[in-house]
Amino acid sequence: MEAVIWILIIALFILSFVGLLFPIVPSVLVLWAGFILYIFFIDGAALSVWFWIGAGVLTVLLFAADLIASQFFVKKYGGSKWSERMAAVGVIVGSFIMPPFGIILVPFALVFITEFIATKDARQAVLVAIASFFAFLSGTAAKALVQAVLIIWFFIEVFI
């Protein structure tokens, strides 16, 4: 039975990374599901209080990564609040359209159209659309790093 639980935990950890490309999969919740499976079915005392505090802080960071990256890059290139919102909508819609390329192309197109309507300047609209693309990449990279840290920390706590 324990081997089956370990297979599920590892599958959930892998699935959390799939959620980076398909935002419909809630990466951080899937990651926590792996932690919870371990606690309830293998060893409820193995993870320290520091792990749980650190995991909580890093989880908040995971949620903030997209928002911070999006606001930073879009604002840096003069994008509007509507462009920020359309980038978020585009990532969600894009995960259903031509995955995984849709999560790059759909937000880019939506941000470009939104900025072009707002400014009537194609060059500015392209700059903001490119900025939203870099926001997505940097947010995804930050989330991947934080998720990897959490998983490595989990295994250190469990096996050392």
pLDDT digits (tens, 9 = 90+) for 148-160: 999 999 999 999 8
CA distances from 151 to 5, 16, 30, 154 (A): 16, 10, 12, 5
Contact criterion met (CB below 8 Å) for 61 and 141? no
Averaged pLDDT for residues 137-154: 92
Q: Where are the beta strands (DSSP E) in the chain?
A: none
pLDDT in tens, 85-126: 888 888 888 878 877 788 889 889 999 999 999 989 999 999
pLDDT in tens, 6-46: 999 999 999 999 988 887 778 989 999 999 999 999 988 88
Cis before 100? omega within 30: yes
- Residue 40 has a pLDDT of 94
pLDDT in tens, 53-78: 999 999 998 888 777 777 778 778 88
**Closest by CA position to 149, among listed 14, 66, 55, 33:** 55
- Residue 13 has a pLDDT of 97
Residue 91 CB neighbours (<10 A): 23
CA distances from 158 to 2, 8, 10, 33, 62 (A): 14, 16, 13, 16, 22
